[in-house]
Amino acid sequence: MRAGAFPAVWPLLMLGAGLAFPFAALALGQEFYLSVAARIGVYAIAATSLNLVLGYGGLISFGHAAFFGLGAYTVAVLSIAGLGSGWVAFPMAVAVAALAALLIGAISLRTRGVYFIMITLAFAQMLFYLANSIKAWGGDEGINLSARSSFGMGIDLGNDLHFYLLVLAVLTVLLVGLQRLDESRFGQAIRAIRLDETRAESIGFPVARYQLLLFVIGGALGGLAGALMVNQQRYVNPNLLYWTQSGTLMVMVILGGVGSRWGGLLGAAALLLLEETLSLYTIHWQFWVGWLLLAVVLFAPRGLAGLAARRRAGARGPH
């Protein structure tokens, strides 16, 4: 296979590996790794939704956990109200997160730089303390789900294999959608705005409208990831809304590659696999992850995706 053809083929190879993995894990009696893979997929969706805002739009949001947590809480609250259908809960989670993103974005996007960072962080913290204070929703103890959302049609999310395949399907559609966005007029406009906002506005792009739309899309996808997360854990508490959750997603994006379509997936896989491995040897696994993050920033500023692209370019050699 030609080196130049590799980038077009490897997404198909990754999808094939993703489909084959659960059956191999079950055949070997390693169901635990199926749960780990599903968790990586959920966080990959959440990190990719942040990467859409941060990497594509150049908007450094430190409050993305707000949408992640809102999606999870929407599913949990509907569940305790007796609405356990995924056909209702998942669209509601996306809608609630999108509406929150619309309101937060409409205010936050009036600012720039560190002020934008702080306002998005402030909104997330407000929602965190609100979730803590609502005793009907469990307060700081959170909400336990008696069962995962139901879809019918032979789909049983209580089955770990079915849940993993749903996560894989959502992640695949999201990555394909990002490719289409890259090639669209909207994607080109967003790229132009990120590179030079003043120039983009001077040639007629509705900068504020495009940025708000991107922010809402990112928030909606964060809500979808939250809906999947609460189904995997069967539990949600206010920590999903806390600023450290936003920090975790940002670390994943930086590790994987800011602005790369595959950055969220690579970063989520790297961070969570490191956590699983290092936690077997030390309770201070975050210390070693910190050194890895420092190394990535210093030696691979475009993250793991950029490092892979650079190696492919080196393998092709000079033209």
What pLDDT does residue 2 have? 37
- Integer Cα distance of 128 and 171 in angstroms: 27
Q: Please give the DSSP secondary-structure letter assigned to residue 54.
A: I
What pLDDT does residue 9 have? 61
Q: How many CA atoms lie within 13 Å of 196's alpha carbon, on the beta-carbon side? A: 6
**Both ends of the chain: CA-CA distance in Å?**
18
What pLDDT does residue 20 have? 80
Q: How many CB atoms lie within 10 A of CB 152?
A: 9
- Integer Cα distance of 193 and 174 in angstroms: 22
- Integer Cα distance of 158 and 231 in angstroms: 9
Q: What is residue 224's three-state secondary structure?
A: helix
Q: How many CB atoms lie within 10 A of CB 274?
A: 16
Q: How many CB atoms lie within 10 A of CB 75?
A: 29
- Cβ contact 189:200 at 8 Å: yes
What is the per-residue pLDDT across 58-69, written as a single tens digit (0 to 9) for each?
999 999 999 999
What tens-digit pLDDT sequence spans the chain (319 residues)?
Answer: 333 334 556 666 777 777 787 777 777 777 778 889 999 999 999 999 999 999 999 999 999 999 999 999 999 999 999 888 999 999 999 999 999 999 999 999 999 889 999 999 999 999 999 999 998 888 989 999 988 999 888 788 888 888 999 999 999 999 989 888 888 889 889 988 888 888 888 888 888 999 999 999 999 999 999 999 999 999 999 999 999 999 999 999 999 999 888 899 999 999 999 888 888 888 888 888 888 888 887 887 788 887 766 655 555 555 5
What pLDDT does residue 3 have? 37
| Helix locations, the chain, DSSP H | 6-27, 31-51, 65-80, 86-108, 114-133, 160-183, 185-195, 197-202, 207-233, 243-256, 263-278, 285-299, 303-316
Question: What would the two tokens of residue 170 be?
Answer: 């959502």
Question: What would the two tokens of residue 187 be?
Answer: 């994607």
Segments making up each domain of the chain, as ranges: 3-241
**Reported pTM:** 0.90
What is the per-residue pLDDT across 124-171, written as a single tens digit (0 to 9) for each?
999 999 999 998 888 989 999 988 999 888 788 888 888 999 999 999
- Cβ contact 228:45 at 8 Å: yes
